[in-house]
Amino acid sequence: MAPASPPPFDPRGLTRPAPVLLRYYTLVSLAALAAFPIAWLVSFFRYETLKYSFGEDGVSMSWGILFRREIHLTYRRIQDIHVTRNLLQRWMGLATVSIQTASGSATPEMQIEGILEFEQLRDFLYTKMRGARGLAESATPPALEGAPATPSDEALVLLRHIAADLSVIAGSSSGEGSSS
């Protein structure tokens, strides 16, 4: 009897970091020595409020009590994904998945911490990122003509204008070449 293959990775079940992240934060806070209580409280509140959401259009992350911070990235904005693991993270089975966009910042736009399935998450994000780009790059002018336009989809409207202009240019240049 063949072994059953594992179910496909579904990140929609990942809404909170793994409990081992709090232990990691505690060990990192210990390195602050005298400032341990303050460093640990900041890390504890970050852990307690950290939430993730992986949807069809993008990934969201939120945290904070006094100063709430929320980040939402669509898959089409993602430029690169990095997985980093320091010695302590490797020992605890953790990693940080850093997501970079074309924002011009040297730091990642989002850093997902506390996920034990970091390799599967990285592969999922790469698949979604390439899928979003593949849809945008595979659009041809005939496909654009039949697509419904909404007022908020400025890119689609612009692409339709460009496709129409290119077809006029192609028609006029092929007509000139055949008359000589």
For 169-178, what is each residue's pLDDT tens digit?
888 766 555 5
Query: What's the rounded Cα separation, in Å, for the pair 108 and 98?
Result: 6
What is this structure's pTM?
0.69
- Its sign, for the CA torsion 107, 109, 114, 117, is negative
Query: What's the rounded Cα separation, in Å, for the pair 142 and 176?
Result: 24
Coil, strand or helix at 48: helix
For 71-121, what is each residue's pLDDT tens digit?
999 999 999 999 999 999 999 999 999 999 988 888 999 999 999 999 999
**Domains in the chain: boundaries:** 11-137, 141-171
Contacts of 104 (CB under 8 A, 6+ apart): none
Coil, strand or helix at 102: coil
Please tell me the least confidently modeled range out of 15-29, 60-74, 97-111: 97-111
Contacts of 41 (CB under 8 A, 6+ apart): none
Q: Are 27 and 88 in contact (CB under 8 A)?
A: yes
CA-CA distances (angstroms) from residue 145 to 76, 137, 142, 157, 173? Answer: 22, 15, 5, 10, 22
In sequence order, what are the beta bridge partners of 75? none
Query: 11-137: which CATH topology?
Result: PH-domain like (2.30.29)
